[in-house]
Amino acid sequence: MEPSGQPPAAANTANVTLDIKSWDETLELVAQHKGKVVVLDLWSTSCDPCMVEFPHLVELHKQHGDKLVCMSASCDYAGIKSKPPESYRDHVLEFLTKQNATFQNVLLNVESDVLFEKIELASIPAVYVFGVDGKVAKRFDNDNAKSGEDFTYTKDIVPFVEKLLAE
């Protein structure tokens, strides 16, 4: 045990995985969970708001993991030729391990700017919530946030997900 009473970070490593996939392959993973509510968080280690909100995804998974599927998709890959997606793996996995993110994690292999254009997203953080029908029930992003406020898990996502789970 660490002095904090927490197990050493290495103890969690076996439970934290990171696969490198395209956006379409990531959506195929989501589709495998049809019949359950799925939360897919798009984030990056270079995005401060993402880092602030990510622990809330972990908490949501802990609280509702039996009724809900949580997933994360790292948008760290920037498309630099000398830095392929694999070169981001250790850095992203280190963050995920510290967060104890034991759900399905993907490192996207598509350049973040290309992805954002494809899915019509100005920037991350963004969270997709898929209903039991497998369709997007809502996308949370700061483009669509009300009154200029950024969305948060506590204020926006958790209440929305809990409402879906209660239906």
- For domain 9-166, the question of CATH label 3.40.30.10 is answered with yes
Computed from CA positions of residues 147, 130, 40, 119, in that sequence, does the dihedral angle turn out positive or negative?
A: negative
pTM: 0.88
pLDDT tens-place string over residues 35-87: 999 999 999 999 999 999 999 999 999 998 788 999 999 999 988 889 999 99
Cβ distance 76 to 93 under 8 Å? no
Q: How far is CA 52 from CA 29, 49, 58, 91, in A?
A: 25, 5, 12, 17
Phi, psi of 42 (to 5 degrees): -95, 125
10 Å CB burial of residue 115 (0-12, 13-18, 19+) is buried
pLDDT, position 10 = 43
pLDDT, position 56 = 96
pLDDT tens-place string over residues 139-155: 999 775 555 568 999 99
* First-to-final CA distance of the chain: 41
Cβ distance 95 to 45 under 8 Å? yes
pLDDT tens-place string over residues 81-104: 899 999 999 999 999 999 999 999
